[in-house]
Chains A and B, each alone.
Chain A
């Protein structure tokens, strides 16, 4: 009917329940821009209304049914276009028929499972969306609405400090200590570097946070690994001598971090490393990487948090 542009068509608008009050978080899009998306957590009901607005009032819209889906998808860079759906719930809003006027449908995905966190990486993307489809003979009318999902974790049961002595024989021996091995995203890394032996002329020392994203090709044969330096943080200027202890305190909340994701649907993983780098006067670099686990903690009052961090 709308073959030549005359047929009836419709605008779909998805309105999520409580969108006014719900927290929105920025999510990076493919085109480099950021979009604020409403934030949901695992098990939370996703409900709302679908408004279908006919373009030409009075004309009827034939369809083969209207459905709403809740989807969780993973898209890998080398396999673009293929969306691996790890989660899919479909609800029928209307049986096949005709629409004569604008109509609003309510939908509800009760306690829907959202096992992973929204992730926009280099080679992997994980998104959740609500998709409304008006099924038609020729071309469906589709509307997608992205939502952001944060997966909260509880306090890790074991959270040992990381303490290690490393060195190059007769050249440099240091002992580093990070107060934990698992940090939540608004945490601060507190630690110290203790110099046991220094025979090189160190220029400076920095701590880098590295995100390692590993994607697995279908079938599990090949892996692609991307290392991404989130930040470089100078923690020492100048050459220490034996016996010096250099403090570390790095607040995490200012950086674009996600929780560590060991295995997302066998498709990809995201890990974080602290890379301690010492650079000597000849610009040689000495480094040691140490994995840390990042987790997302349910948000509490911000200022109270800052206060506790400061005193740790």
Chain B
């Protein structure tokens, strides 16, 4: 694991992208075959499952360090990372190990089936033979939380530098349902034809948020507009008579949407469609919460299937008749998509619809359409340049999302908790309340939206204004008012306030607003009544 730990250290010691890519490229040139495959797997989110509970790891680490468990538990939130706390607190290693990354990963995998005493013995043995950075990596792997601060995109770039294979080609090879223990570097990366895998999706093209108005984009006629729907982005892959559904996170989610299976018969093989998966009833999208119920589960009970049936709202056609057509202009792909979907969807029982174009004469007209979005259960409008190819990843220029302004409410900070990782030692996780008579009713958490300087300021304030502590959570003096922005609101019996927000975050710290002028639960309920949408 020495080489891998050294890579980790190199990546961790720089904030510069080109140095990170260079470190990774060096690693991909030099490391052992199996280790390279595992590194690719780790950096593309294929982490091994957790095989030991963190409760046991904490206990064993404290015992090994000769300190009481409470002292370990007090140290953990200050360090902000469990794997790191364990690595720091253990006594120095007694021996060294030259075993490669793959060895330790298979050791970790083997733990799952062992009795506790045996697992303990193996973990302690590993700790006693690993240097602190190796231990940290080992702990990250064993807790299932391994991350390296390198995106899949950067990893792909490094791999490209090391192998001379084009980035987009590699991105394609790395998608799909491969497993690091069952493939080789040769088969995964170097072999000429990866066509064996019928399910392989294309990398998603992601839009940037448009800041301000679209005036700077030039002539409106060069642009196509449609709604930005509030579901999950998905890719439908129909090849060889089978149907595969991929999420934007490159997760294969076919099993969660069994209603899509008939599409394999209704559409020609060799078809790949990019679209939005939505819960759909009476020819209209349901609120996101309805779809959310389906995402949490691997298999779908019949009742849920009936309550929240899903469709794919088609945006784009990436493959037609088995040919990759991503290089064609959007207008041409769209025309082909309209023909294809139009032919197939005479039968409205099929779970496929065409996301309608939003025609507009000028940018003002589009602004009016955008303002209507929330009433249509959409998040805003999308703008796509009519002559643009389908690119991969998030790239500026050809696609823009123009979201509606968030809903907002002024709320009072009531609980605070320290963050993790880069935000360790700062209070960054907050719970907010609104007034109900003289009481503050908690209704949402929010973690983002403040600057580093503001987080430091509020951290200092929290330390001095803690009323009570519940473990890591501090109840603070009600004093500060924040404007909380959110994208949607739903009724939720699970929450004390009766509502759940979508994408809540802090828009502004309202220094100007006295505590008593924060909004009330009645205000929140009014927003719910106006925008709550339907979930059944």
The answer to whether A binds B is no
